[in-house]
Structure 1
Amino acid sequence: MRAIQISDVKTLKPIEIDAPPAPGPGQALVKTHRMGVCGTDISCYVGKFPFFDFPRIPGHELGVEVVAVGEGVSNVSAGDRCSIEPYMNCGECYAYRRGATNCCQNLQVIGVMCDGGLCESFLVRADKLHPSAKLSYDQLALVETLAIGCHANDRANPRPADQALIIGMGPIGLATLEFAKLTGARISVMDMNQDRLDFVRNHYGIENTVRFVGDGSELESMRQITGGDFYQSIVDATGNRHSMSGALNYLSPTGSLVYVGITTDEVNFRHPAMHKPEASIVASRNALPGDFTRIIGLIEMGMINTDPWITHRTDMEGVLSEFESYTKPETGVIKAVINIA
């Protein structure tokens, strides 16, 4: 059976693997139709993701078809189209008992800590499948990205009329934006890439776009946008240590800063920058099962439009030569999708 592996830094390798066996109790055999390329996949590919080891079959943003189910499975049936919640939690640890399945102490994320969906078919826990009779495989492959943004926005908790800033307009920043819009907050976005800011303005109607050029000019733009109050909630979706270290400069008194992007580098700031505004600094990791259910419903109702997201598309043969381009924002990539079947 065909699969593609990240075998080393910036190295994709086509491999043959054994076809999976029949599903056991609580399992489902699924056929992969679509895989979204995530910022995590890019970080794994360039060797900068902290929870990843080579070699690994990537793929955790997936639109799949259920082929067969094992004993005791009742939430899905053969033929169902599904999104996968890729966070394989242990069911026993402290985090799990607290309801924090997203940060289980023994967490295995498929495509990151164990092999994922860049293959023809594989076995998965059936309870991690979220079906929809209405969504396409493209849409189902975008649900996990949206779930990351949903959870990050919940952690930031912007209220109606709050000034809210999202830094980094890659897929996770865009996903966060989708849910920030639903809160009624007054949203600003910031990025270094003018094309991404134009994309947000044109497709989402966000007027308050700030380009970061590294000379401090963004502060004056933010003063004008917020009347000098700056931002009650900030989500940094860059995974860039310089951005993450500087984000406190944009926070209003008693505001909250959420880090959803991940870096292996140190994040540094002087303590008064946090202490003076009585800031809350919060991490956001993965998503919760209810986020998947909510997002599928919102897409089905037309409240989230995924049409602008997919800017690049390839197949299993093309990805070997094209994946490198997905690491470069200047190519205009927002979300690349791999057609597998």
Structure 2
Amino acid sequence: MKSIVVQQPERLVIEERPLPQPGPGEVRMRVSRAGICGSDVHIWHGHNPFARYPRTIGHEFFGHIDAVGQGVDAARIGERVVGDPVLSCGHCYSCQVGRPNVCRELQVIGVHRDGGFSEYITLPAKNAHQVPASIADNEAAMIEPFTIAANICSQLQPAKTDIALVYGAGPMGLTTIQALRGVYGVKRIIVADRIDERLAMARANGADCTINNAKDDLGAALAQQEARPTLIVDAACHPSILPQAIALASPAARIGIMGFSAEPCVISQQEITSKELSIFSSRLNSNRFPMVIEWMSQKKINPTALITHQFAYTDVLDAMEVFEKDQKHCCKVLLTF
């Protein structure tokens, strides 16, 4: 089989690898679609501290079960499935309280073990979620990105009365905007980004108002609109954002952080406590696949609106370059196998 492998930082190749056999409790998936994420680019460039090389990348993947291991019902062969990349131990404290995404022994498919940029992949049967026929193949490949939005929203508990401010109109921000609008019916959604074309994408995906915070002072723009955000999502992940979000937030607001910046930031305890703000962080997803599959089945979200490019897997280098460099026009890139 063919697999897309980062042999070492900056060296990405397509290799011929042996066809994997599913172990006990596992299934084998014949991959047909896979989405490129920023973390794949980071592994390619050697910027992900968790990755070890060589590594088959890819954690957004969809296909069909074509073989099962011991203990798995053979009736599952032929199922259309999407893979949850979160692998957890099931017995540590985090797992016991329903947060396997921060398991003490966490492994992520495509990071800690080989991923879905391959013609075939094996994974635990419980991580292969059946996709109904009403969800098209390209849409199914978008389920994992929407689980990231589902995870932060499940913590923030958006309400129809909220005024939401979303920092960043990249893939994480846009999936969150769609969820806030289509699933939770949030009253008003304001989006800040530094690229006008991304702000246009935000409006197309449900934002009521957009602000280019490279050109305009965000605080002044919000004050002019008499908008005091009650819910803030940081999907841009710059260390300057959290202190500003705390300053701009309404009393009793909730703030959600989706990023992984290692750079420090300085925040004021007084500003947090005086407003009694709630600050949440979110990593990956904690069993949100059924939730997102239901959203898609009920047409509450529109995943195809985010798919801007599609490439054959043999053109993966071109696809990665477009995803990384064309921030004005590119949102989600799918590979076909």
> Normalized against structure 2, the TM-score is what?
0.92
Q: Say whether residues 1:294 and 2:329 are aligned partners.
A: no
Please tell me whether the aligned partners of residues 165 and 190 of structure 1 are also in contact (alpha carbons under 8 angstroms): yes
Q: Say whether residues 1:156 and 2:156 are aligned partners.
A: yes
- Tell me the distance in 1 between the aligned counterparts of 2:41 and 2:75: 31
Secondary structure at 1:241's aligned position in 2? Answer: coil
- Alignment-derived partner of residue 280 in structure 2: 282
Deviation at 1:58, TM superposition (A): 0.8
TM-aligned CA distance change 1:136 to 1:251, over 3 Å: same
Please tell me whether the aligned partners of residues 147 and 286 of structure 1 are also in contact (alpha carbons under 8 angstroms): yes
**Range with bigger deviation, 302-311 or 119-128:** 302-311
Secondary structure at 1:252's aligned position in 2? Answer: coil
Secondary structure at 2:23's aligned position in 1? Answer: coil
Q: Say whether residues 1:317 and 2:319 are aligned partners.
A: no
Please tell me whether the aligned partners of residues 153 and 235 of structure 1 are also in contact (alpha carbons under 8 angstroms): no
Deviation at 1:256, TM superposition (A): 1.5
- Tell me the distance in 1 between the aligned counterparts of 2:26 and 2:312: 27
- Alignment-derived partner of residue 130 in structure 2: 131
TM-aligned CA distance change 1:103 to 1:336, over 3 Å: same
Secondary structure at 2:184's aligned position in 1? Answer: coil
Deviation at 1:293, TM superposition (A): 1.0
- Alignment-derived partner of residue 241 in structure 1: 239
Please tell me whether the aligned partners of residues 63 and 139 of structure 1 are also in contact (alpha carbons under 8 angstroms): no
- Alignment-derived partner of residue 9 in structure 2: 9
- Alignment-derived partner of residue 100 in structure 1: 99
Match of 2:249 among 226, 251, 259: 251
- Alignment-derived partner of residue 199 in structure 1: 201
Q: Deviations over 1:304-326 (max 9, x none)?
A: 22221110111222112331221
Deviation at 1:339, TM superposition (A): 0.6
- Alignment-derived partner of residue 56 in structure 2: 57
Please tell me whether the aligned partners of residues 68 and 74 of structure 2 are also in contact (alpha carbons under 8 angstroms): no
**Range with bigger deviation, 36-45 or 121-130:** 36-45
Where do 5+ consecutive residues of structure 2 fail to align? none
Please tell me whether the aligned partners of residues 189 and 208 of structure 1 are also in contact (alpha carbons under 8 angstroms): yes
Tell me how many residue pairs correspond in the alignment.
334
- Tell me the distance in 2 between the aligned counterparts of 1:295 and 1:75: 26
- Alignment-derived partner of residue 271 in structure 2: 273
Please tell me whether the aligned partners of residues 205 and 305 of structure 2 are also in contact (alpha carbons under 8 angstroms): no
- Tell me the distance in 1 between the aligned counterparts of 2:215 and 2:206: 25
Q: Deviations over 1:88-136 (max 9, x none)?
A: 1111211111121121111101001111011111211001011123122
Deviation at 1:50, TM superposition (A): 4.1
Deviation at 1:245, TM superposition (A): 4.3
Please tell me whether the aligned partners of residues 189 and 207 of structure 2 are also in contact (alpha carbons under 8 angstroms): yes
Secondary structure at 2:250's aligned position in 1? Answer: strand
- Tell me the distance in 1 between the aligned counterparts of 2:29 and 2:131: 15
- Tell me the distance in 1 between the aligned counterparts of 2:74 and 2:275: 47
- Alignment-derived partner of residue 184 in structure 1: 185
Deviation at 1:329, TM superposition (A): 4.2
- Alignment-derived partner of residue 18 in structure 2: 18
Deviation at 1:45, TM superposition (A): 2.9
TM-aligned CA distance change 1:305 to 1:274, over 3 Å: same
Please tell me whether the aligned partners of residues 49 and 263 of structure 1 are also in contact (alpha carbons under 8 angstroms): no
- Tell me the distance in 2 between the aligned counterparts of 1:189 and 1:259: 15
Secondary structure at 2:51's aligned position in 1? Answer: coil
- Alignment-derived partner of residue 220 in structure 1: 220
Superposition RMSD on alpha carbons, in Å? 2.0
Q: Deviations over 1:282-308 (max 9, x none)?
A: 11111122x211211221222222221
Please tell me whether the aligned partners of residues 242 and 267 of structure 2 are also in contact (alpha carbons under 8 angstroms): no
- Alignment-derived partner of residue 209 in structure 1: 210
TM-aligned CA distance change 1:131 to 1:144, over 3 Å: same
Deviation at 1:56, TM superposition (A): 1.6
Amino acid paired to 2:58: G
Q: Deviations over 1:61-80 (max 9, x none)?
A: 11111001123224961111
Q: Deviations over 1:218-246 (max 9, x none)?
A: 11211233x25x11111101122233443
Amino acid paired to 1:249: A
- Tell me the distance in 1 between the aligned counterparts of 2:185 and 2:302: 18
TM-aligned CA distance change 1:205 to 1:140, over 3 Å: closer
Q: Deviations over 1:174-207 (max 9, x none)?
A: 1111221122322111111110111221x23422
Amino acid paired to 1:305: N
Please tell me whether the aligned partners of residues 3 and 119 of structure 2 are also in contact (alpha carbons under 8 angstroms): yes
> Normalized against structure 1, the TM-score is what?
0.91
- Tell me the distance in 2 between the aligned counterparts of 1:236 and 1:329: 22
- Tell me the distance in 2 between the aligned counterparts of 1:179 and 1:75: 35
- Tell me the distance in 2 between the aligned counterparts of 1:101 and 1:240: 26
Q: How does 1:100-119 map to 2 (within 5 A)?
A: 100-119=99-118
Where do 5+ consecutive residues of structure 1 fail to align? none
- Tell me the distance in 1 between the aligned counterparts of 2:292 and 2:206: 21
